[in-house]
Amino acid sequence: MKTSMAKQKKSKSLLRREWVKSMVQNRYLYLLMLPAIIYLVMISYRAMYGILLAFKDYNPKLGIMGSEWIGLKHFKNMFTDPYFRHVLLNTILISFGRIIFTFPFAIIIAIAFNELKQRHLKKTLQTIYTFPHFLSWVIVSGVIFNFLDYTGPVNSMVAAFGGERKVFLGDKKLITPILYITDIWKESGWKSIIYLAAITGINSELYEAAELDGAGRWGKIWHVTLPCIRGTILVMLTMRVGQVLNAGFDQIFNMSNTVVQSTIDILDTYVYRITFQQTPDFSYSTAVGLFKSVIGFTMVILVNKLSKKMEGTGILD
């Protein structure tokens, strides 16, 4: 018994020595990591105790620890509120719509860039496609409002061909497709960079072998490019599904109006109104945020398991 305990202590001391030795050898790498670690500790982990607000009736005078503990009351109120269920359904539909309709565009653009042989044209198009990412949704929504205005260029063109003018951003049937289209225009070029980097890492001999087997351009894309970047696609999809209850607050907040609000109102805009436009209820807002985080975490675990079955590895392995 004493011998086994002594062996355990010895092995632990050896591990500590190896760890210290590794720290000393890689000290510059750890120094590079230090700002990120400090950021995570100060901004992310230090604020985690604020989750307690979700289980308390928060009183600013008493503080978080001094406020009354009420357990799951806010969560019960959430699921008994009909409008909460409505915005939750909106959030899920819009978010999964983004995955179905907007997620593939970054992959398509990356493949299209890879197929371009003219170097200068490729660089020019990459600049054009990635530039909208650096514009805020405040600016983009202003452009869209002017472009789709009742007297704007789109309606003027429709009227010129004998059609009827429409209030595009006031149409409940059109507002969701407009969200998808503007999101594709703004973000797909930027997101394609990750897939393009994965494509450039593909061994050129695979393309040569496919060509010898008689594969054309489409055949090489289908049998070489897509299988080789499948791991990257699954990682990005896992991360995107983890944000399934984040349906694009910035975009919807700036493009929404009273006519279409009920159609595109999501959890984030719902929480914003509760926190800043009504009598503030920080505890209830925290409960909604915690609910979103738990669902996001659960979705990441599920998609990660699916990724492991398909690819043999997952984002969490």
Q: How many independent structural domains does the chain possess?
A: 2
Contacts for 296 with CB less than 8 Å, ≥ 6 apart: 242, 243, 244, 245, 246
Distance CA 295, CA 246 (A): 11
Structure tokens at 272: 């914003």
Q: Which pLDDT score is estimated for 29?
A: 86
> Does residue 132 share a domain with residue 3?
no
> Does residue 31 share a domain with residue 2?
yes
> Does residue 250 share a domain with residue 185?
yes
Structure tokens at 121: 């044209």
> Does residue 245 share a domain with residue 121?
yes
> Does residue 196 share a domain with residue 62?
no
Q: What is the DSSP letter of 308?
A: H
Classify residue 297: in a domain, yes or no: yes
Torsion of CA 263, 268, 273, 274, to 10 degrees: 120
The tens digit of pLDDT for each residue in 193-233 reads 999 999 988 888 888 888 888 888 888 888 889 988 988 88
Cα angle at 92 between 91 and 96, to 5 degrees?
A: 115
Residue that finishes a domain, picked among 23, 47, 71? 71
CA-CA distances (angstroms) from residue 131 to 134, 186, 283? 6, 8, 39
- Contact between 299 and 290 under an 8 Å Cβ cutoff? The reply is no
> Does residue 287 share a domain with residue 182?
yes
Confidence class of residue 243 from pLDDT cuts 50, 70 and 90?
A: confident
The pLDDT of 185-198, averaged and rounded, is: 92
Domain at 181, CATH number? 1.10.3720.10
In 3-state terms, what secondary structure has residue 57? strand
Classify residue 142: in a domain, yes or no: no
- Contact between 299 and 244 under an 8 Å Cβ cutoff? The reply is yes
> Does residue 241 share a domain with residue 96?
yes
Distance CA 271, CA 81 (A): 13
| Nearest alpha carbon to residue 300 among 217, 236, 253 | 236
Residues spanned by the domain of 48? 1-71
Confidence class of residue 133 from pLDDT cuts 50, 70 and 90?
A: very high
| Nearest alpha carbon to residue 85 among 265, 309, 244 | 265
The pLDDT of 7-15, averaged and rounded, is: 68
Residue that finishes a domain, picked among 71, 99, 114? 71
> Does residue 268 share a domain with residue 216?
yes
Q: Is the pLDDT of residue 186 over 90?
A: yes
Distance CA 97, CA 187 (A): 15
Classify residue 162: in a domain, yes or no: no
Looking up tokens 């305990």, which residue turns up? 5
Q: Is the dihedral of CA 239, 241, 246, 250 positive or negative?
A: positive
| Nearest alpha carbon to residue 155 among 170, 140, 165 | 165
pTM of the complete model: 0.82
Contacts for 153 with CB less than 8 Å, ≥ 6 apart: 147
Q: Which pLDDT score is estimated for 313?
A: 64
Contacts for 164 with CB less than 8 Å, ≥ 6 apart: 158
Q: Would you mind telling me the total number of residues written for the chain in this entry? A: 317
Distance CA 2, CA 268 (A): 59
The tens digit of pLDDT for each residue in 17-40 reads 888 888 888 888 888 888 888 888
Residue that finishes a domain, picked among 55, 71, 87? 71
> Does residue 132 share a domain with residue 9?
no
